[in-house]
Amino acid sequence: MFPLFYALNHIDIQVQSVFFCKIRLYIVHVLGLVLRYVVVLACIDRFVITRANIRVRSLSSIRMAVGSTMVMIVLCFLIAMHLPILTNIRNGVCGMIGLYKVIYSFYQIIVVGLLPPILMIIFSALTIQNLWRQHASRLSARRRDRNLMRMLIAEVTVDIVISIPYSANLIHGAVVNNSAGKSTKQIEIETFITFFTQFLIYITSVVPFYLFLCASKPFQREFLLLISRFWYQYVLRRVQVRPIREQTMTHV
């Protein structure tokens, strides 16, 4: 996100170097994919650990989590390999060109905007169904399940709201690609909209924290407990008062 703000009052580096243009878009896109699909893996893990079958539950382990995460990261790098190959600088703009811009727009909607939320909804709903069966007679557990569902709905909704505008702006830019007949004001408006939608994509990584902090009371309690522990452990360190022992000083 820093290059976006830096480019507001300085020379945009990504339109000066083709390598930087390609590698920046590639890395940022891969990190966005990893961020979303890590949450998907977490939803799958929650579903597995709530299954009644012991063999299925045994799949939920640190070793399996690390392995699946590494495989997912490698797949994200491979899936996004088209970006450094097909992106380029044209007319002082670093981005997609021609037909690839349209294809990338639909790719963005499907792979980033729709698939992760759909997978999150499916596996989280199955998780809640498993918990509901196990805790049908326990009121506290049912409240926790409802809280989990509320957090899930909020996260998925925000993810869709953030992803769709960026994808829609890509489609608009691909369809209305001719800037010859546009006025300077119209070009400035479209540039600002592009900047704003990119900014929304970049803040996706921090939105869930504030979302859960506002929507979930258990999350609020855990967060306050964590802050208090940190405060007392690292800020207000206990001052150990040791008794002063008289020492005999021997002068030679």
Pair 84, 23: CB distance under 8 Å: yes
H helix intervals, the chain: 2-9, 18-49, 54-57, 62-79, 82-86, 99-107, 115-134, 139-175, 184-202, 207-215, 217-230
Q: Which residue has the tokens 């360190």?
A: 237
Q: Give whichever of 83-97, 123-137, 138-152, 172-186 has the largest mean pLDDT.
A: 83-97
pLDDT in tens, 31-68: 888 988 988 888 888 888 888 788 877 888 888 889 99
The yes-or-no verdict on residue 141 having pLDDT over 60 is no
Query: Which stretch, 76-80, 146-150, 198-202, has highest mean pLDDT?
Result: 76-80
196's tokens: 């704003």
**Topology of domain 2-229, CATH:** Rhopdopsin 7-helix transmembrane proteins (1.20.1070)
Which pair of tokens denotes residue 27? Answer: 């890395």
The domain limits of the chain are 2-229
Of 111, 223, 108, 76, nearest to 173 (Cα)? 108
Question: According to the model, what pLDDT value does residue 158 have?
Answer: 78
Tokens 């600002």 locate to 192
**What is the residue-averaged pLDDT of the chain?**
76
